[in-house]
């Protein structure tokens, strides 16, 4: 996975710094978390930044592009970074007692993958979005500051992604021996459902009665891959290489997410 670069971390820090004055303007004095949160509800939203990668595996290739005698391969593998474009989450939790809550999140994430090369051709996937439905079991520590306004938390999350839909292009090099020029082919990826597991740490700071500013980080990885059968046919109708080639494709995501947002309890 790509390491968090200095520019991304600086942008995240700058956002927090510039948001601080506006937060200070709405921070009320003389407020603290209730002694007991049992039975309370929490709703909120969050966004953030991500450092995510995806590993692509192609196997069981059938067709001319998978033929070693033609310079092909029936398997392929590569890893690419998924550059974050946009993400937002809506959440709801129910406090089972003062320290434990259970709830769910609905997230929409948009990524723009870097070009990659799982075979002897360059694959460039367009920006795509996925919906995530997440169950969250969370432990809230008691406030750690004297004013009782800062509550750290830790959580485990089980996520479900119903599908992955993405379009892209494959750029093939010329084959001089067959008199074939370089070709670009449009493809569609239609991955099926998969599950994810995530581990969360963070804290909530009470800025007004029942209103908190939340910040944290979580690491998430796919428990199983999203799968699709990929069909490639860059030279339809040409001798030798003119028939389609199919691969069984798998894609696994994993990465680190930094988040911030607001929550309201009632």
Any idea where the domains of the chain sit in the sequence? 6-265
Sorting pLDDT into bands at 50, 70 and 90, what band is 242?
A: confident
DSSP conformation letters of 5-63: PHHHHHHHHHHHHHHHHHHHHHPPSS----S--TT-EEEEEEEEEEEEEEEEEEEEEES
Q: What is the mean pLDDT of residues 95-118?
A: 96
Cα 93 to Cα 66, 80, 97, distances in angstroms: 50, 34, 12
Q: Model confidence at 165, in pLDDT bands (50, 70, 90)?
A: very high
Q: Using a pLDDT cut of 70, give the percent of the chain over it.
A: 91
Q: What is the CATH number of domain 6-265?
A: 2.40.160.20
Q: Provide the pLDDT confidence category of residue 241 given band limits of 50, 70 and 90.
A: confident
pLDDT in tens, 41-66: 999 999 999 999 999 999 999 998 89
Predicted confidence band of residue 181 (pLDDT cuts 50, 70, 90): confident
Token pair belonging to 45: 């939203």
Contact 127, 84 (CB under 8 A): no
Rounded to an integer, the average pLDDT of 88-94 is 98
Q: How confident is the model at residue 23, as a pLDDT? A: 54
What pairing do the DSSP bridges indicate for beta strands 211-222 and 194-208?
Answer: antiparallel
Percent of residues, the chain, with pLDDT higher than 90? 72
Is it the case that residue 18 has pLDDT exceeding 70?
A: no
Res. 231: pLDDT tops 60: yes
Residue 175 DSSP code: B
pLDDT at 121: 86
In this prediction, residues 66-93 reach a mean pLDDT of: 92
pLDDT at 180 over 90: no
Q: Which residues have a Cβ under 8 Å from the Cβ of 129 and sit 6 or more positions away?
A: 108, 109, 110, 111
């Amino acid at each position: 996975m790509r390491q968090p670069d200095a520019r991304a971390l600086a942008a995240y820090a700058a956002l927090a710094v510039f948001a601080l004055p506006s937060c200070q303007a709405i921070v009320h004095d003389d407020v603290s978390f209730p002694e007991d949160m049992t039975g309370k509800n929490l709703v909120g939203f969050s966004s953030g930044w991500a450092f995510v990668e995806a590993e692509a595996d192609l196997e069981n290739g059938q067709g001319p592009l998978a033929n070693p005698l033609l310079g092909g391969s029936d398997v392929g593998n590569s890893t690419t970074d998924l550059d974050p474009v946009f993400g937002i989450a809506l959440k709801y939790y129910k406090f089972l007692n003062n320290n434990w809550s259970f709830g769910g999140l609905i997230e929409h994430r948009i990524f723009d993958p870097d070009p990659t090369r799982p075979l002897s051709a360059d694959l460039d996937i367009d920006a795509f979005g996925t919906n995530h439905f997440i169950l969250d079991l969370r432990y809230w520590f008691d406030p750690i500051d004297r004013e009782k306004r800062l509550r750290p938390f830790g959580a485990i999350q089980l996520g479900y992604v119903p599908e992955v839909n993405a379009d892209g292009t494959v750029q093939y090099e010329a084959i001089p021996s067959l008199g074939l020029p370089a070709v670009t082919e449009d493809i569609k990826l239609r991955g099926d459902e998969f599950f994810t597991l995530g581990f969360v740490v963070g804290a909530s700071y009470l800025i007004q009665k029942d209103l908190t500013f939340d910040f944290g980080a979580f690491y998430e990885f796919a428990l199983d891959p999203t799968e699709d059968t990929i069909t490639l046919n860059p030279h339809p109708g040409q001798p030798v290489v003119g028939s389609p080639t199919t691969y069984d494709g798998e894609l696994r995501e994993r990465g680190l997410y930094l988040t911030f947002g607001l929550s309201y309890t009632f």
